[in-house]
Structure 1
Amino acid sequence: MTDRLPLFPLSSALFPGLVLPLNVFEERYRALVGDLLALPESTPRRFAVVAIRHGHEVSPTGQDGLDTGPLAGLGDDPMDALYGYGCVADAAGIAEQEGGGYELVATGIMRFRLMSVDASGPYLTAEIEEVPDAPGEGAGALVPEVVRVFGAYQKRLAGARERSLAGQEFPDDPTVLSYLIAAAVIAATPEKQRLLEAPDAASRLTSELRLLRHETSIIDKLPSLPAVELIQQPVCAN
């Protein structure tokens, strides 16, 4: 099943079920949010989020000031500049700021494959194809070990604050857990994107086990770090 939605490129991947706060100030994205607000109340305010492979999230400043065209920061070929998979987001809360910008909170809904990009309007739109989720063989059996290793990873990050993690509950659903960990683990965008593109939850959880063990071993070899700076998730500014 294909659909066409407004496209919002970001510097990082969004995962289904995860919350995305956005601070919207560029003209192209203000136009996008304005069009979402103009939809009937009964219509879902959805847009497509995709991570940037080559380029910049915010328009670079040129001789004539800030370039606000739909392809600003992405070059001439958006299909090359953007990753091929993303996540549909639903904007449940939108607040207008002084000066015409917006603050919004969106939630990841489902994965998609990027089929084509249209740059003829004030902002990019994309033809997308939904990518269904599947647990995959052995996904349920992986859950206890992934939870255990992720808990150890969190404790290494938290250091002296590890007691605050006691009693934390994790979802039993393999797919939900796989996306939660994909969003929470500290990793570069290409690694996060690989997790988003995994064919099923079992594959994603298996990759996350390797990643978490690797990252935990690195943390063990590092001197004490200000973990709070590592685990804070900034608001995306666009």
Structure 2
Amino acid sequence: MDGPSYRSPVPTTIPLFPLGTVLMPGSSLPLHIFEPRYRQLTVDLVTGAVPGKQFGVVAVREGWTPDADGLAGLHGVGCTAELLDVRRLPDGRYDIVTRGVQRFRLLELDDATKPYLMGTVEYLPDDEPSHAELTPALSAAARAAHRRYCATAWKNGEWSEPGGDVDPHLLPHVLAADCLLPITDRQRLLEQTCPTERLRLVRALLARETGLLSQLRAVPAPMTSFAVEHSSN
């Protein structure tokens, strides 16, 4: 998981899956795979042609596409996804379940080597925490903001509080996972490498969204069962 590691990043090459959403470490992401190149990626993950059953998820910039705009069409930081479960449908499509593992910075794109995009990335560790002694208080404040958001946004039984054993470095990503934050906010959380600042940020974002929901007397629309890849067939 994306925890307290301070090693220098080393570039590596991984398959990429551009999406209209932001995956964060520790978060679950179900996907409905229908485009041929990503069907092939799924096969390569299952058969071991892609080692470790992991690929990179990176958010597409609004109004851009990686096919037309290349590297400029994607946000610069993404997250690896670990394949957890696969269900093949009769027509050759797949429903898969993944979990976010580790952040990376996207350096280069390769659209020629494989049917799907490949990317040269460097993994993005956390910085050494500033004011680490504040971590317990900041964690408690972030959890409280999450409870207030969920009590406002969801019905009883539609959400649960993360366990007390969740690492504080990972906690902001887990708290944000079941909250409907805008993509820009989710990307800010993903890119924040200071653990204490990340706790502050998620608390502030959830408090803001709770206030907006309360003022509008509205609740978010339900999430769809499966996300789909950004690019069309």
Give the aligned partner of residue 120 of structure 2.
127
Aligned-partner Cα distance in 2 for 1:48–1:188: 20
Give the aligned partner of residue 62 of structure 1.
none
* Alpha-carbon displacement from aligned partner over 1:13-72 (angstroms, at most 9, x marks no partner): 10111111111000111121122223169x41111110001447xxxxxxxxxxxxxxxx
Task: Check conservation: 1:186, 1:231, Cα contact below 8 A.
Answer: no
Task: Check conservation: 1:118, 1:125, Cα contact below 8 A.
Answer: yes
1:91 and 2:83 equivalent? yes
* Alpha-carbon displacement from aligned partner over 1:115-165 (angstroms, at most 9, x marks no partner): 10001131100011011135722333301111112111111113xx45x58
Unpaired segments ≥5 residues, structure 1? 57-72
User: 21, 33, 39: which one pairs with 1:24?
Assistant: 33
TM-aligned CA deviation for residue 166 of structure 1: 9.9
Aligned-partner Cα distance in 2 for 1:38–1:166: 35
Aligned-partner Cα distance in 1 for 2:71–2:159: 44
Q: What TM-score comes out, normalization by structure 2 length?
A: 0.83
TM-aligned CA deviation for residue 103 of structure 1: 1.3
Query: Which of structures 1 and 2 has the bigger CA Rg?
Result: 1
Task: Check conservation: 1:46, 1:89, Cα contact below 8 A.
Answer: yes
How many corresponding residue pairs? 215
Unpaired segments ≥5 residues, structure 2? 1-9
User: 215, 219, 228: which one pairs with 1:237?
Assistant: 228
Q: What TM-score comes out, normalization by structure 1 length?
A: 0.81
Change (3 A) 1:203 1:197: same
1:38 and 2:47 equivalent? yes
TM-aligned CA deviation for residue 86 of structure 1: 0.4
Give the aligned partner of residue 146 of structure 1.
142
TM-aligned CA deviation for residue 80 of structure 1: 0.5
User: 90, 97, 119: which one pairs with 1:105?
Assistant: 97
Aligned-partner Cα distance in 2 for 1:3–1:27: 25
Aligned-partner Cα distance in 1 for 2:203–2:70: 33
Aligned-partner Cα distance in 2 for 1:198–1:76: 28
